[in-house]
Amino acid sequence: MNSLIYSEAWREWSDPEIPDYISPTQLMLDRHIDNGLQDKTAIIVDGVRVSYGELLAETCRVANSLIGLGLPRESRVLVSANDSLQTIAIWLGAIRAGLIPVSISDLYKPDMFLYFIEDTGARAVYIDPAQLPKLRALQERLPVTLEKVIVNGATDDAGPIGAVEVLSYPDLVAGHFPQMRSVELHANDMAYMFYSGGTTGTPKGIVHLAHDFILVPERHGFWWYYNQDDVVFATSKKYFTHGLWPGVLIPLYFGATIILSSGPATPAVVTELIETFRPTKLITVPTIIKLLLAYFDEIGLSPDFSSLQAVYTASEKMPPEIFEKWHARFGHELMDSIGSSEVTYEWIANRPSDFRRGSLGRPLVGVEIRLVDDNGKDITQPDTPGECLVKSRTACLFYWRKFDQTKAIFQGEWVHTGDQLQFDSDGYFWFAGRSNDVFKVKGMWVSPIEIEAAITSDHRVQEAAAICVEDGEGFSRVKAFVVLRKDVGGDEKLVAELKARVRADAGGYKVPDTIEFVAELPRTPLQKIDRKTLREMEAGARRQ
């Protein structure tokens, strides 16, 4: 263990004792009712306030209705819908009934949607009405394991899909009791699943255990000071671990209030929600922060964000000037972090009492970190990049139906994250890139992060992505795709200036041979920049 990287708080921490059996929804709902919070607002969804008592009642109705459908214990329920009270109630209700909710994006096309239905062996699927055409297009290919489709809201298209019954959410819960004793889960029972974003291949089902419902909120609550008085707004959709855990499950564990929006997190929507409902914590991603700052500049807005006590970001590397602009405007720091669904949320993070601007922070309590070189040898010296390995009781038990990938990523107690990090002389970690994104140019390793940071330091650039391409002679070259700010035109003069920035900040051999201006960058369902798609697009263009 490298003593440099662990804080005093980390050394003093001990995980709480985990009982043999756990009722996750009792921890998030029932116990707050027992403590007198029946009428306290649990969720503000599209401006409507829902109390803890009302959320518990809706969760119980859903649980009773799912059991009434005849779904066996531990059946998978595929959840693919916009954020709403009903979506949260389906997720929590499945847990309460002893079923396994599996969250995925609602943006997948029919063939990928079919993959998730087949891979999970889901008995039931929960979707928005807009997704019904996807399933009807798949009618002849749906597996026999699928029995029910639950549609969030009324629909004129409620006929069966082949042998699969279609139910509206109102019909599902109608007449069911608003009370139900929660099914208890063994601490080591499978409780819920996420799916990986699929940037390195077919998305993988990430299996998690019931003990997460104590370990994750206790660790993050301590690290980020969650409490009953918090109002929490997480901009990421709740099929994403960075949306569900900090934006729903952790706040509910502490009896706090959460803000949900069914629509996209546009700058205007985010600003209105913050000014109206006054969250104390904002959990978001760098893209949202960049769009907010550009929006304020564009319309000359000085929003009232004075309620915010902390802003946490994760998911992508953020240019240094963004931290500075946010601090200059609002007077508080953006606290960056890094985590993954495989480990159940964050494993390195800044915190209000211990942060370094621009860094990822230090290891979260209960989590051990190693960096290893290409030979698997531990890195003990600062400022030396290596792959990050994580050890945590909250790590994924296995990839669902993916034996070989499980063996490759989960080796003993350690999870291979694929993230290249380095720590400085004070023990703070810094992002260096993804292992599958780094490449060699002229025999030397290049991280796209360095190139992108240099390019986005120009005030005219909104975001950038760098990839490796082959020239006509088979040599590796750097190409950058650049999104400019509104009303900025791209020309050869700007290309030359951006190349000069890369040369000065990152080194001459990292200068892109080509810079292409684009309207937007492709993103994964988890809203990360999709360099894999950029590489595929470039390879396809070169074959034509």
Look up residue 228 and give its DSSP letter: T
Look up residue 40 and give its DSSP letter: S
For 516-537, what is each residue's pLDDT tens digit? 999 999 887 767 788 888 888 8
| pLDDT at position 436 | 63
Distance (Å, whole) CA 245 – CA 232: 11
For 84-109, what is each residue's pLDDT tens digit? 999 999 999 999 999 999 999 988 88
Query: 123: pLDDT confidence band, cut at 50, 70 and 90?
Result: very high
Say if strands 190-195 and 185-186 run parallel, antiparallel, or are unpaired.
unpaired
Query: 472: pLDDT confidence band, cut at 50, 70 and 90?
Result: low
The yes-or-no verdict on residue 468 having pLDDT over 90 is no
Largest Cα span, the chain: 72
Q: In what order do the strands lie in the sheet with 48-51?
A: 48-51, 41-45, 257-260, 231-234, 281-284, 310-313, 334-340, 345-349, 362-363
Query: 199: pLDDT confidence band, cut at 50, 70 and 90?
Result: low
Say if strands 231-234 and 281-284 run parallel, antiparallel, or are unpaired.
parallel
CATH code, residues 24-183: 3.40.50.980
User: What value does the mean pLDDT take over residues 48-63?
Assistant: 98
The pTM of this model reads 0.86
Q: Which CATH superfamily is domain 439-543 in?
A: ANL, C-terminal domain (3.30.300.30)
Q: Retrieve residue 341's tokens.
A: 């669904």
Distance (Å, whole) CA 304 – CA 275: 6
Say which residue the tokens 């709403």 belong to: 84
The yes-or-no verdict on residue 369 having pLDDT over 70 is yes
User: What value does the mean pLDDT take over residues 4-28?
Assistant: 97
Cβ pair 210, 48 in contact under 8 A? no
The yes-or-no verdict on residue 487 having pLDDT over 80 is yes
The yes-or-no verdict on residue 45 having pLDDT over 80 is yes
Dihedral of alpha carbons 106, 108, 110, 113, sign: negative
Chain region(s) in the chain for CATH 3.30.300.30: 439-543
User: What value does the mean pLDDT take over residues 364-373?
Assistant: 96
Strand, coil or helix: 104? coil
For 206-247, what is each residue's pLDDT tens digit? 999 999 999 999 999 999 999 999 999 999 999 989 999 999
Say which residue the tokens 């699969």 belong to: 164
The angle subtended at Cα 241 by Cα 18 and Cα 453, nearest 5°, is 130
Distance (Å, whole) CA 46 – CA 517: 36
Distance (Å, whole) CA 31 – CA 357: 38
Alpha-carbon distance values, 41 to 232, 255, 510, 517 (Å): 12, 9, 52, 46
User: What value does the mean pLDDT take over residues 418-431?
Assistant: 92
Cβ pair 355, 333 in contact under 8 A? yes
Look up residue 365 and give its DSSP letter: T
Chain region(s) in the chain for CATH 3.40.50.980: 24-183
The full 3-state SS of 257-270, as one line of letters, equals EEEECCCCCCHHHH
